[in-house]
Amino acid sequence: QPQLQESGPGLVKPSETLSLTCTVSGGSITSSSFYWGWIRQPPGKGLEWIGNIYYSGTTFYNPSLKSRVTISEDTSKNQFSLKLNSVTAADTAVYYCARLRWSGWYGDYWGQGTLVTVSS
């Protein structure tokens, strides 16, 4: 069973770039059976899909965030990363990384989540 762990700063200033990394153990991100994705949840609110990356490097993004988001991978470290630029207080959320099945894009394994607060 894979384990996913998010890491990165818990506090980001407005207008700066939020950067998070997800380290995967117990499975390879180069598997063709899965996407690797980011989902966020503002405090007290619902889930919002941010985007996915496939082992080939192909990415898919939420249309509402597409202009600010970049997801990349480092297969040598079995990690994938999220960058969200020009952040505002509305980007304050718990950020989860997850393994998504190739068919249907549902998350079968999730990280524990990390709270990122946007504040000066």
Partner 1 sequence: QSALTQPASVSGSPGQSITISCTGTSGDISGYNYVSWYQQHPGKAPKLMIYDVSNRPSGVSNRFSGSKSGNTASLTISGLQAEDEADYYCGSYAGSHVVFGGGTKLTVL
Residue from 12, 54, 55, 111 binding partner 1 (CB under 8 A) = 111
Contact between 46 and partner 1 per CB under 8 A: yes
Nearer of residues 86 and 102 to partner 1, judged by Cβ:
102
Q: How far is the CB of 10 from partner 1 (least distance, A)?
A: 16
Report the distance separating Cα 94 and Cα 116, nearest Å.
Answer: 6
Contact between 108 and partner 1 per CB under 8 A: yes
Query: How many distinct helices (H) and strands (E) make up the chain?
Result: 0, 11
Q: How far is the CB of 13 from partner 1 (least distance, A)?
A: 26
Q: How far is the CB of 51 from partner 1 (least distance, A)?
A: 8
Contact between 112 and partner 1 per CB under 8 A: yes
The length of the chain, given as a count of residues = 120
Contact between 8 and partner 1 per CB under 8 A: no
- Beta strands 69-74 and 79-84 are antiparallel
Closest among 32, 51, 24, 34 to 101, alpha carbons compared: 34
Token pair listed for 43 = 């405090």
Report the distance separating Cα 21 and Cα 73, nearest Å.
Answer: 9
Contact between 10 and partner 1 per CB under 8 A: no
Q: How far is the CB of 63 from partner 1 (least distance, A)?
A: 7
Beta bridge partners of 54: 35
Site for partner 1, rule CB under 8 A: 37, 39, 45-49, 60-63, 96, 101, 103-108, 110-113
